[in-house]
């Protein structure tokens, strides 16, 4: 049970409004195109099947946020989005 990597998020953990920004994905839309991992290497890795694993932590301002915004804007399936809590 302790196998979860830090980058694998626990589903539906209650988001509390705290002014942070989180990178999120609708996995049912994602087609594993993969450009997100290329544009946001600090936040997104690809799993064994080519689908993105997102860093669930709040996205810090600056470089990481710019990466996240680029990945969101580039996703051809519009599966990625930024959630402001």
Nearest CA to 59 out of 18, 27, 29, 26 is that of 18
Spatial separation of the C-alpha atoms in residues 51 and 38, rounded to whole Å:
12
50 binds another protein (CB under 8 A): yes
73 binds another protein (CB under 8 A): yes
Residue placing its CB nearer to another protein in the complex, 33 or 58? 33
30 binds another protein (CB under 8 A): yes
74 binds another protein (CB under 8 A): yes
Spatial separation of the C-alpha atoms in residues 84 and 72, rounded to whole Å:
14
12 binds another protein (CB under 8 A): yes
């Amino acid at each position: 049970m302790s196998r979860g990597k830090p980058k694998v998020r626990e589903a539906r953990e209650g988001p509390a409004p705290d002014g942070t920004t989180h990178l999120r994905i609708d996995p049912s839309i994602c087609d594993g195109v993969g450009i997100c991992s290329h544009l946001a290497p600090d936040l997104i890795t690809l799993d064994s099947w080519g689908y993105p694993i997102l860093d669930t932590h709040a996205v810090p301002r600056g470089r990481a946020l710019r990466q996240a915004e680029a990945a969101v804007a580039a996703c051809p399936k519009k599966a990625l989005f930024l959630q402001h809590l």
